[in-house]
Amino acid sequence: SNFGTFAEAKGIISVIVVILNTIFEFFKGVPLFYCMSGFLIWDSIERSNTFREYARKRIFRVYPELWGAVVASLISIIVIYREKIIWLKLALFGITQGTVLQFWTPDFLRGYGNGTPNGALWTICVIVQFYVVCWFIHKVLKGKSLWTWCTVLICSIIVGWASPILESKLPTIVYKLYSQTVIPYVWLFLVGCFMAEFYDQIIPTLKKYWWMVLLISVIWIFLVPFDISIGLYSLMGSLLCCAACFGFAYAFPRLNLRTDISYGIYLYHMVVINIFVQLGLTDNFGYFIGAAVIIFICAFISTKTIGRMGLKLKTKAKIE
Q: Which residues touch 25 (CB under 8 Å, ≥6 apart)?
A: 221
Q: Give residues with Cβ within 8 angstroms of 97, minimum separation 6.
A: 70, 73, 117, 118, 121
Q: Is the pLDDT of residue 23 over 70?
A: no
Among residues 287, 164, 179, 140, the alpha carbon closest in space to that of 228 is found at 164
pLDDT of residue 138: 96
pLDDT confidence of residue 235: 86
pLDDT value at position 25? 60
pLDDT score of 160: 92
Task: Please state the rounded mean pLDDT for residues 220-238.
Answer: 76
Residue 235 neighbours by CB under 8 Å, 6+ apart: 157, 161, 227, 228, 229
Asked if residue 2 has pLDDT above 50, the reply is no
pLDDT tens-place string over residues 281-290: 988 878 889 9
Residue 45 in this model has a pLDDT that exceeds 90: yes
* Position with higher pLDDT, 319 vs 100: 100
For 172, the enclosing helix (H) or strand (E) is helix 172-179
Q: Write the pLDDT tens digit of every residue in 297-306.
A: 999 999 999 9
Q: Confirm if 117 and 271 have CB atoms less than 8 A apart.
A: yes
- Please tell me which residue, 31 or 152, carries the higher pLDDT value: 152
pLDDT at residue 229, rounded to an integer: 78
* pLDDT top residue among 276 and 316: 276
* Residue 10: per-residue pLDDT: 55
137: number of Cβ within 10 Å: 20
Q: Could you give the percent of the chain with pLDDT greater than 90? A: 66
The tens digit of pLDDT for each residue in 58-100 reads 999 999 999 999 999 999 999 999 899 999 999 999 999 999 9
For the chain, give the mean pLDDT. 88
